[in-house]
Amino acid sequence: MRRRLNFGDEIPEVVVPVTRAQLRRYADLSGDHNPIHQDESVAHAVGLPGVVAHGMFTMGVVGRVLADYIGDVAAIIRYSTRFTRPVVVPADDAEPNTAEIHITGKVSEVNDGEGTATISMTATFNGQTVLGRTQATVLQP
C-alpha cells in the first residue's frame, strides 16, 4: 500500500550490505563488465583504492529503499543523483567481506496541486556521501 507523504517525513536509516558476488551478478545482468568492478589489480592500476561498486548499482540500491518506503515503485516519476565517491567492496574472502551503504531520506517538498512529493535521499559509505543531490519525485496516493 502506498504511503502518503508529509513535509519533513524521514525515511529511517537502512543499511545495505554489498558483496563482490552481488557485483558479479549485477555485471551479468547489466552487461557492464568493466574490470574495475571485479579485478583488484585493474582497480589499483587506474588509481582506485580497490574494486568499486557500479554507480548505477548504488543508485539502484537507494531507489529500492525509496520504493520500499513509499510502497509502490511505480509512484516514482523522477529520480536523479550525482555520483560523488565510490563504494569500495572488499574481496569475498576478506573480513569483513561486505561494504555497507547507509541510506536515509527526508520529504523536502509536498506539492498538493500536482499531487507529488519530493524526497531527498542520502547514501553514505564509511561516513562519506557516495551520491549527491539525490532526489526523487513521487506521486501521492
Give domain status of residue 28, yes or no: yes
Give domain status of residue 106, yes or no: yes
Q: For the segment 78-104, what is each residue's pLDDT rounded down to a tens digit? A: 999 999 999 999 998 889 999 999 999
State yes or no: pLDDT of 60 exceeds 90.
yes
Model confidence band, residue 1 (pLDDT cutoffs 50, 70, 90): confident
Give domain status of residue 129, yes or no: yes
Give domain status of residue 75, yes or no: yes
How many structural domains compose the chain? 1
Return d(Cα 35, Cα 38) in angstroms, integer: 5
Q: For the segment 102-112, what is each residue's pLDDT rounded down to a tens digit? A: 999 999 999 99
Give domain status of residue 3, yes or no: no
Is this model's pTM higher than 0.85 or not?
yes
pLDDT at 9: 98
Give domain status of residue 45, yes or no: yes
How, if at all, do strands 99-111 and 76-83 pair? unpaired
What CATH number corresponds to the domain at position 95? 3.10.129.10
Return d(Cα 128, Cα 21) in angstroms, integer: 23
Task: From residue 111, give the alpha-carbon distance in Å to each of 41, 92, 101.
Answer: 49, 45, 30
Q: For the segment 21-43, what is each residue's pLDDT rounded down to a tens digit? A: 999 999 999 999 999 999 999 99
pLDDT at 42: 97
The Cβ of residue 59 has, within 10 Å, a number of other Cβ atoms equal to 20
Question: pLDDT > 70: what percent of the chain?
Answer: 100
The residues, any chain, with a CB within 8 Å of residue 121's CB and separated by 6 or more, are 11, 62, 65, 66, 81, 103, 104, 105, 131, 134, 135, 136
Give domain status of residue 103, yes or no: yes
Give domain status of residue 125, yes or no: yes
- What is the mean pLDDT of the segment spanning 42-53? 97
**Which residue in the block uniquely carries the three cell numbers 563488465?**
33
Q: Which domain holds residue 134?
A: 10-139
Q: Which three cell numbers stand for residue 26?
A: 549485477
